[in-house]
Chain A
């Protein structure tokens, strides 16, 4: 039957035109299209990967930041503490030094006062001695005016002096 009998003309034209179609499409259509599709797939893939990487890096960066922040806080606390300690020690030292100095001054003052006092005492002693001599002189002059009394005194004094 004619329906299932291949026709030479159509067979020939089909073979020819399909070969040309296949060649042209392969060379000028499928090549660029498939290339573009795979390029696009690759670029989307890359972009996704890059986004993923960026996210990870962000996380790392963030945790780094947090670490740095924590360290900074610690550092600050340390510095503040150190400063506080320093302040304390400076004040302390100053106080100590001041005390020492004060003591020293006090000591010196005391020594000076002592010295002055001693000076004054010895001067007073001399003065008193002088006054005593003068008084004694006056008394003696008075007493020695009477001969009898002179004798008695000499006698008393001789008695008191022990010759042993």
Chain B
């Protein structure tokens, strides 16, 4: 992913056509910047974190990036909306706002109050990740609505084109995830959600592997995104929880009484587990995707670290780096699918658990 993006930065730098891109800025020969030491951590984080502009490449001192919409609500000055190009790649302030370069709000827009203090405004900016999110949602809609249209025309027709890519996966989710986890009677209610999260995560993971413009954003590696996905799973699980499910949490049958009274150990553990489930979903997807990006970028950084010692060491290590990043790229392709699968499977399992009718009513009476 970002590995490919790294390659792009190396090779495509010379090919990039900045015509469609408005934010272009010549920096007057500023020696300070060119002599700045290469900071691996900074480079990696600026790639995996969200940003207010979509950086494409940098030629010399010219940053080429797509400016995005900044939407802010400040408690003192109200609504603001302007192009992120006004920040000049984070180097200038605009309307009292600027992008913090360090501190608690690093890489976020902060407002400088008249008294000099900095506060964070309500930030609804269409950032790089939001844009990428919209692009992948648009893609999903285009793909699935057109596929659905084909199905509506004639269901008996053999699948064709993109439909034949979608169908095995849909059937797989239906028969190997939903039915075994949820059960034959009620799985159909949950299928739309399971299919949507699977394809949403998968498409976003894959988009993250594309190193240049429509892809490259680390959407599924952003915790805000994974939190929302996990919240959906949590909400649906809680909503479909049967009486048995909740009883099981509050008063788990088959557990010795001293674990419940006087200190309700088991109920506490069970209640914590209810919240741990979505938390684990959040962290797993976020961490896996982010880790993949970090590892690839780390390999890529080797080139620059070695190049600082000697330019030839940089060229030398680049061979190794490229081999590693290609390998990582292939691994990430696998991970992109596996993480989508795991998230969907676990969601389905949680739904299944919430729907389960426990057959030890008699034991419950003992307790």
Contacts and interface: CB of A to CB of B under 8 A. Distances in A.
Interface of A: 2-15, 17-18, 20-22, 24-26, 28-37, 39-40, 43
Contacts of A33: 144, 147-148, 151, 166, 170
Given A11-B224, A14-B224, A28-B148, A3 B45 contact: yes
B123 A9 contact: yes
A9 B127 contact: yes
A23 to B, nearest CB: 9
B107 interface: yes
Contacts of A37: 151, 155, 167, 170-171, 174
Given A4-B223, A35-B155, A36-B151, A12 B124 contact: yes
Given A11-B228, A14-B228, A33-B170, A21 B130 contact: no
B333 interface: no
Given A3-B45, A22-B193, A28-B145, 15 more contacts: A3-B48, A6-B224, A10-B50, A10-B129, A10-B133, A11-B224, A11-B227, A13-B134, A14-B228, A20-B137, A22-B196, A25-B195, A33-B166, A34-B191, A39-B156
Given A6-B227, A13-B130, A21-B140, A43 B156 contact: yes
Interface residues of B, number: 53
A144 B298 CA distance: 192
A32 B150 CA distance: 9
Interface string B158-173: 0000000011001100
A40 B188 CA distance: 17
Contacts of B155: 35-37, 39-40, 43
B228 A15 contact: yes
Contacts of A13: 124, 126, 130, 133-134
Contacts of A31: 148, 192
A2 B110 CA distance: 14
A22 B141 CA distance: 10
Contact of A40 (B137, B156, B286): B156
A10 B226 CA distance: 11
Contacts of B275: none
A3 B223 contact: yes
Contacts of B126: 13
Given A3-B290, A12-B124, A18-B228, A24 B49 contact: no
A18 B203 CA distance: 13
Contacts of A20: 137
Contacts of A40: 155-156
A17 B124 CA distance: 13
Interface in B192-245: 192-193, 195-196, 200, 222-225, 227-229, 231-232
Contacts of B229: 18
B97 to A, nearest CB: 14
Contacts of A30: 144, 148, 191-192, 195-196
What are the 5 closest A-B residue pairs judged by CB atoms, nearest first? A36-B155, A36-B151, A29-B144, A26-B192, A10-B224
B39 to A, nearest CB: 16
A17 B151 contact: no
Contacts of A3: 45, 48-49, 223, 290
A25 B125 contact: no
Interface in B172-195: 174, 188, 191-193, 195
B133 A14 contact: yes
B182 to A, nearest CB: 14
A7 B224 contact: yes
10 contacts: A2-B106, A3-B223, A6-B224, A11-B224, A17-B133, A18-B229, A29-B144, A30-B192, A32-B148, A37-B171
